[in-house]
Amino acid sequence: MIQIAPSILSFDHSRLAEAVASLAQAGADWIHFDVMDGQFVPPITFGDGLVKNLRDKVPTRFEVHLMTETPERHFEAFIAAGCTRVIFHVEASAHPHRLAQSLRAREVEAGVAINPGTSVEALEPLLDVLDLALVMTVNPGWGGQKFIESTLAKVETLRRWRPELAIEVDGGIDPSSLPRAQRAGADVFVVGNHLAKAPDLSSAMRELKGLCV
């Protein structure tokens, strides 16, 4: 069963309550929050206050994608704000196994992301403590970039290693790239720009969900 996790990054930030309500209405499985600190990636986006303000607008589950250095500094705040899945980057910590364990100990799902320039082997020692692996299909930092085809080999490897693992892809996902990512083994799809610019959110979401085989 595929899941769609729309990212609010490319939506009008002055109208995010409406955006999450429309995404929930259209059948989003998760709302994906892209947190950038101006260090791990150049841009800065938003903090836990925004997530907290949106939490009671929809019943949809929230996940945070921390593109930050020392991600563990932010775990508590985003969990308190209502995120039930926390994803941090393997490149941002010398102790990703311990950090993933600490998320599970807080009773949220633990996700670890890898950049296009990071080998999939970086995730192999973490598999026993992961609820989700996020394979970046663009370089993190900006919405609306072109999908990087070569990242799919990593999805294939992860799927071979762990038939049951949730594998998320993030970046450049649209009706053309989604089926290729799904064939490689991905089952959770972050979609930002494609939905933000869709004239009709419900039909765009239906189209994405209809692509699943």
- Beta carbons of 103 and 71 less than 8 angstroms apart: no
Q: Which residues of 42-65 are buried (b: 16+ CB within 10 A; e: fewer)?
A: eeebeebebbbebeeebebbbbbb
Interface with ligand DX5 (CB under 6 A), residue from 4, 9, 99, 108? 9
User: Rounded to the nearest whole angstrom, what is the least distance from the CB of residue 15 to Zn ion in the complex?
Assistant: 20
Smallest gap, in angstroms, from Cβ of residue 96 to ligand DX5?
A: 18
Residues 58-97 that bind ligand DX5 (CB under 6 A): 65
Catalytic status, residue 170: yes
Q: Which of residues 27-56 bind Zn ion (CB under 5 A)?
A: 34
- Cβ pair 81, 43 in contact under 8 A: no
Identified binder of Zn ion from the candidate list 19, 35, 65, 182, rule CB under 5 A: 65
153 is written with which tokens?
Answer: 């080999």
Show the binding pattern over residues 137-156: x = contacts ligand DX5 (CB under 6 A), - = does not: -x-xxxxxx-----------
**Where does the chain have alpha helices with state H?**
16-25, 48-55, 72-80, 96-105, 152-161, 177-184, 193-196, 201-210
CA-nearest of 210, 203, 171, 208 to 190 is 171
What the block records as the tokens of 183 is 């064939």
Q: Is 200 a catalytic residue?
A: no
Catalytic residue chosen out of the listed positions 48, 170, 174, 187: 170
Residues 180-199 that bind ligand DX5 (CB under 6 A): 190-194
Answer yes or no whether residue 173 interacts with ligand DX5 by CB under 6 A: yes
List CB contacts of 97: < 8 A, sequence separation 6 or more. Answer: 125, 126, 129
Residue 67's beta-bridge partner residues? 36
- The residue whose Cβ lies closest to ligand DX5 is 192
37 binds ligand DX5 (CB under 6 A): no
What residue ranges bind ligand DX5 (CB under 6 A)?
7, 9-10, 32, 34, 65, 138, 140-145, 170-173, 190-194
What residue ranges bind Zn ion (CB under 5 A)?
34, 65, 170
